[in-house]
Structure 1
């Protein structure tokens, strides 16, 4: 990357030095806000810095970010009339400050007795310490000091950047973790610190905004519950049909497999996180299959009269080929996600590693450790002691009804399974026709939208977020007033839902509401963190809250975009089209038409584009008389920049902050176009004339950003689904591809279309599946063929996979769930 950057021939004059560095992978851990009633922002910042120092002193925490305030600076605000009165310029004032406010070593002086360090130390770090700097002198010898010509103040920069929580100004602190740091430990330390900090204060409080350890703990708890349930079910059902000790050793394979996975996972840079826990939850359902097959076969050999050792040896050797084949095919299927060239590959790559490692360890345990346990323990013993403990008595009762289990199995085999299999064998063509018809019906239902599909499921969220974008250049006060209006409407929504669902519980829907101003004066956001899902009724969902809020707010006149959502669209927007063309007029016209079509679609919301109106630009040009006076455009714009943007006199470190000292006009003298016109421009001969006498200007909107895709100008239009429970993005995208976009291309022949967002991810996924899936399918076929010693039987087995999708599809339809990429993962697991 650095070599590519170094090849750039030139950069704008005055640009900060470029720094190319490799960013360490970090994970968001816990975020909190510091706020209180009527506490100034500067005070909050200082307290936040103290909190940062306290946290940095904790072991195992290194990544801390503080936000919610602009940069601090020292402004030397000069008035036009004082510059004229003292014959000064912005540059001369800045040079005077930079030359006087110094700390410089002048060398050493050695005498016969001692040594001295020569230095000039006149460094000041605060505004009130700079007032006595001499900027000029009069002919009579009187000195002109900085305080005589300018107002000097410490302040925050004018870049809008602020955060408010529940109406009070706040400073946000984000704690992240690296791969070598423990997320759970970090979260616990921070929560303990917050509890102690809040205990002794009333007006000043820390509020937790998000805590990733909650999700991680929930997944861990789910994993433990599933593991315990799995072990219990194995114990119960194997005790019914085999015996208790044998069931125990089979179930014991679960912790052994996970323990082995934990040992080897760090070699593949896998940590315990939400993704790895998800992989563990998936693999639990298939872990004990190999152990059950091996244990059951060993038991059958023992029942034939063989010794425990001989039964274990013969039993495991007999089933090694099918067991190993089953594990290898599953490992191959999950390895597919390691080769996907999309965000899904990044997302599920870690899941695949966890599943594969666990399966391999489970296979080793089932082939080596399990037979040894069965052979040398009392699992195959027919001599049993009288049960004494409650557990032993319970399993003794299970063994007592072992015959009932055998009877049930025989009944199902003889009365249910046998007639069905006999019918299918006698009516092979009818059976085949029925399955083909079912498969055809399923495929048609998926294609026709009866069984809905989506790229990624809409994940329930405890957060509702509103993002407001006004035209560039909008005054921050206007932006703030609109987002504040939306905040008031959110309180109405909260009150309605509290009254309907939470009345009498003592709870309110929103834990906190965060208003953020930043990324320019035209952007703001509002985040409402709701009660956790387990603490609120199922009827209160994020999309319900956002839809009601959007209904109350209505259209905001003049807004570039207003998005209500929860930010959970993995892979981008479900509806997204990019137009490509070098004909800007046609590109913008097509964009506008498509945007209006999507806005009129009642199934869609949050219609946006990446081509916002640029900020209004005042473009200066010199008049002929300006050139005649010896001016050029560079000379002119440098003086205008000095007054309106400022001249940086100094930059130094003050505590943990980098402070810049700016010399510019007072804010009151750079707040209207008239003041720009009347600005006095220094001529080369020393005279000064108003800018309007030597220059003219035009006002037009500029470009905020220029996007390219495949070497051409690109404008993207995106939208979200309003009701994800009953609407499929697939149908809307099909209509766009087949009808709407072709009509626009016929009208604007220079444009071409590209389908982005989740559609691009889906396309990349399909391409990856085609390139990686075929070799993996061949390997699976070869594995099965080697096991069966047949080239035809594996084909029959593989052909069963599409038929199994029939059940998956209609199961989704019954539960009103769309088929998505997680469904594919489940199919592979089965």
Structure 2
């Protein structure tokens, strides 16, 4: 949930695998059986193909063969190398050397400068400021042209009377839309935004002001404040905004509460109630003076004319007249308004927002550095700001929205899916090898590939994100395939009569070429995607890194340390059987494929 677009990618991958199975079972045998393929040809000694074969043979027999022999002689020492690798990558993650975030920063092809002044502000002021911003954008564009000789900003437009991200409309609001052509350029769209923001400077008169592009997965920091006491929520909002403004990692802190137009709040004194007045009557008399009231209708020719009475225009332009106003009591007496009513002028609410039956205000913030770790920034907010906020305003509840909520949706569904995938993989492997133990051996290869994928993000300088996790799911299947090939060759060698050491060595040597070639072609096929700079590819690059580097490191550890894992677990099984039966078994006696053969022989004898 939350990443529905991945279903399309999954459909393409599954369809491709199904077609490849059809090709492998029905088309490939036909090609291999053709006379052209079967006839032998005398290769030239210095042909390109022969050189590749010699190189692979050297890698397999001399380098890999030598290391494999050492690992077979020292399986327990080798067993801890993958463990140390996992611990090392974990420390890099913990120390923020390899960054993490909810979603990667995707460059955009346009951004907006949005502003909202106080409600009631004149349109001329808003328009003048937007034109000022447009001028600054053009100055930034000229600076980029002088630096790089190329233009990034293609055109700008002004929209007066509304905003998109601020939720404001009216004469006090507007935006400047800036279109970019930053694909393949030396300056990113994020840097352009920062330059424009710096060029415009601070805008103290603005109630809300942001410069930025669209966030596909929501704001990096979005906090919802909820409760029954709205005044306390507003105080908590001001406290939180001040604290977030003090964080250099954040910028453009806004909220969705909004300021309304100025309102006069009346509070009647006891004398007013004693004279028989109420709020409705007092409000009606004030409205009659400033807005007017209909007193008569006249027929002039064929038209009906309404006659309204109100204060002269000079008295209606200032609230100071309210101090001199007199109220008429039900008995006809006139009293100064200050004698009967207390009043104050405040701005009203633009809208009233509820969430789960409680009043809500949401505070959003953007990252100053688009490539910074969102998880670290939000963790800092949770540790340093939220506890103090809750201690001051105990009735206020907090919920994290934006990217964290979207990521939580994705990870929750992903966790269930991964459990199902692991269960199905374990079930299929156990049935294929007729052994849950060997199925578990293959599954144990996956963690090394996962941490290899995380290390790959550090090498490429990108944070590990939710999109990376989807690539890791695809990686699991690829690693399992290579492990199945290796373990199947090991079992086959055991059935042919080899001892455990010889069987594991022959399996490594015989499976080296297919495992390495499939891994190399996978990495080579994905690396152009990793190097791609287009806007559309940015969504796929984290998944490509996960698969490419996971396969790269996973293949290395599989070829070298799966043998150590098999031999170490063989010793563990022998030890358990020794304690269980009191007789120390040999290495061949605990291997599942040989146990199955002995059982079949016993059944045949019976």
Deviation string 1:376-420 (CA, Å, 9 cap, x unpaired) is: x45533178x9xxxxxxxxx9899443333222211111121222
Shift in Å, 1:561: 1.8
- Mapped pair 1:733 → 2:416: no
Residue of structure 2 equivalent to 1:764? 409
Contact (CA 8 Å) 2:407, 2:466: kept in 1 or not?
no
Contact (CA 8 Å) 1:621, 1:633: kept in 2 or not?
no
Question: In 2, Cα distance between the equivalents of 1:642 and 1:765?
Answer: 59
Residue of structure 2 equivalent to 1:580? 226
Residue of structure 1 equivalent to 2:105? 458
What pairs with 1:139-288 in structure 2 (closer than 5 Å)? none
Contact (CA 8 Å) 1:626, 1:632: kept in 2 or not?
no
Pick aligned residue for 2:367 from 716, 721, 726: 721
Deviation string 1:144-194 (CA, Å, 9 cap, x unpaired) is: xxxxxxxxxxxxxxxxxxxxxxxxxxxxxxxxxxxxxxxxxxxxxxxxxxx
Shift in Å, 1:772: 2.8
Question: In 2, Cα distance between the equivalents of 1:788 and 1:414?
Answer: 28
Q: Secondary structure at the match of 1:796?
A: helix
Shift in Å, 1:761: 1.4
Contact (CA 8 Å) 1:517, 1:524: kept in 2 or not?
yes
Shift in Å, 1:819: 0.9
- Mapped pair 1:380 → 2:23: no
- Mapped pair 1:745 → 2:390: yes
Cα 1:755–1:427, aligned 2, differ >3 Å: closer, same or farther?
farther
Pick aligned residue for 2:11 from 340, 348, 353: 353
Deviation string 1:621-659 (CA, Å, 9 cap, x unpaired) is: 99999999x98989998999999xxxxxxxxxxxxxxxx
- Mapped pair 1:525 → 2:525: no
Pick aligned residue for 1:407 from 46, 51, 54: 54
Question: In 1, Cα distance between the equivalents of 2:29 and 2:147?
Answer: 60
Deviation string 1:606-626 (CA, Å, 9 cap, x unpaired) is: 211122222324679999999
Pick aligned residue for 1:433 from 74, 80, 92: 80
Shift in Å, 1:423: 2.5
Question: In 2, Cα distance between the equivalents of 1:359 and 1:636?
Answer: 78
- Mapped pair 1:555 → 2:212: no
Question: In 2, Cα distance between the equivalents of 1:491 and 1:416?
Answer: 60
5+ residue gaps, structure 1: 1-340, 387-395, 644-662, 679-691
Question: In 1, Cα distance between the equivalents of 2:23 and 2:373?
Answer: 45
Question: In 2, Cα distance between the equivalents of 1:353 and 1:489?
Answer: 47
Aligned length: 432
- Mapped pair 1:703 → 2:353: no
- Mapped pair 1:610 → 2:256: yes
Pick aligned residue for 2:450 from 805, 808, 827: 805
Task: Work out which structure has the larger RCO, using CA pairs closer than 8 Å and 6 or more positions apart in sequence.
Answer: 2
Question: In 2, Cα distance between the equivalents of 1:671 and 1:765?
Answer: 62
Question: In 2, Cα distance between the equivalents of 1:397 and 1:613?
Answer: 84
The Cα RMSD (Å) is: 3.9
Residue of structure 2 equivalent to 1:514? 157
Pick aligned residue for 2:29 from 352, 371, 380: 371
Cα 1:374–1:712, aligned 2, differ >3 Å: closer, same or farther?
same
Question: In 1, Cα distance between the equivalents of 2:211 and 2:80?
Answer: 49
Cα 1:531–1:671, aligned 2, differ >3 Å: closer, same or farther?
farther
Contact (CA 8 Å) 1:581, 1:713: kept in 2 or not?
yes
Residue of structure 2 equivalent to 1:598? 244
Residue of structure 1 equivalent to 2:489? none
Cα 1:526–1:743, aligned 2, differ >3 Å: closer, same or farther?
same
Residue of structure 2 equivalent to 1:497? 144
Cα 1:638–1:758, aligned 2, differ >3 Å: closer, same or farther?
farther
Shift in Å, 1:817: 0.9
Deviation string 1:463-502 (CA, Å, 9 cap, x unpaired) is: 2321212233333222222221111111221121111111
Cα 1:619–1:753, aligned 2, differ >3 Å: closer, same or farther?
closer
Deviation string 1:703-752 (CA, Å, 9 cap, x unpaired) is: 12233333322222221111233x21111111122222112111221122
Shift in Å, 1:806: 2.5
Residue of structure 2 equivalent to 1:421? 68
Question: In 2, Cα distance between the equivalents of 1:398 and 1:482?
Answer: 77
Q: Secondary structure at the match of 2:51?
A: helix
Residue of structure 2 equivalent to 1:570? 216
Contact (CA 8 Å) 1:570, 1:758: kept in 2 or not?
no
Shift in Å, 1:350: 1.8
Contact (CA 8 Å) 1:464, 1:545: kept in 2 or not?
no
Question: In 1, Cα distance between the equivalents of 2:291 and 2:66?
Answer: 91
Question: In 2, Cα distance between the equivalents of 1:541 and 1:671?
Answer: 56
Cα 1:464–1:422, aligned 2, differ >3 Å: closer, same or farther?
same
Normalised TM-score (structure 2):
0.63
Deviation string 1:778-798 (CA, Å, 9 cap, x unpaired) is: 112112222222211222222
Cα 1:367–1:617, aligned 2, differ >3 Å: closer, same or farther?
farther
Question: In 1, Cα distance between the equivalents of 2:10 and 2:288?
Answer: 59
Cα 1:711–1:631, aligned 2, differ >3 Å: closer, same or farther?
closer
Shift in Å, 1:362: 2.6
Contact (CA 8 Å) 2:118, 2:207: kept in 1 or not?
yes
Contact (CA 8 Å) 2:154, 2:179: kept in 1 or not?
yes
Deviation string 1:401-446 (CA, Å, 9 cap, x unpaired) is: 4333322221111112122222223322222222112212212322
Shift in Å, 1:512: 0.7
Cα 1:619–1:751, aligned 2, differ >3 Å: closer, same or farther?
closer
Cα 1:409–1:612, aligned 2, differ >3 Å: closer, same or farther?
same
Deviation string 1:229-256 (CA, Å, 9 cap, x unpaired) is: xxxxxxxxxxxxxxxxxxxxxxxxxxxx
Contact (CA 8 Å) 2:290, 2:316: kept in 1 or not?
no
Normalised TM-score (structure 1):
0.47
Pick aligned residue for 2:122 from 467, 475, 496: 475
Contact (CA 8 Å) 1:542, 1:565: kept in 2 or not?
no
Question: In 2, Cα distance between the equivalents of 1:627 and 1:596?
Answer: 44
Contact (CA 8 Å) 1:471, 1:612: kept in 2 or not?
no
Shift in Å, 1:513: 0.8
Q: Secondary structure at the match of 2:432?
A: helix
The structure with more helix, counted as a fraction of residues = 2
Q: Secondary structure at the match of 1:354?
A: helix
Question: In 2, Cα distance between the equivalents of 1:399 and 1:373?
Answer: 27
Question: In 2, Cα distance between the equivalents of 1:732 and 1:447?
Answer: 14
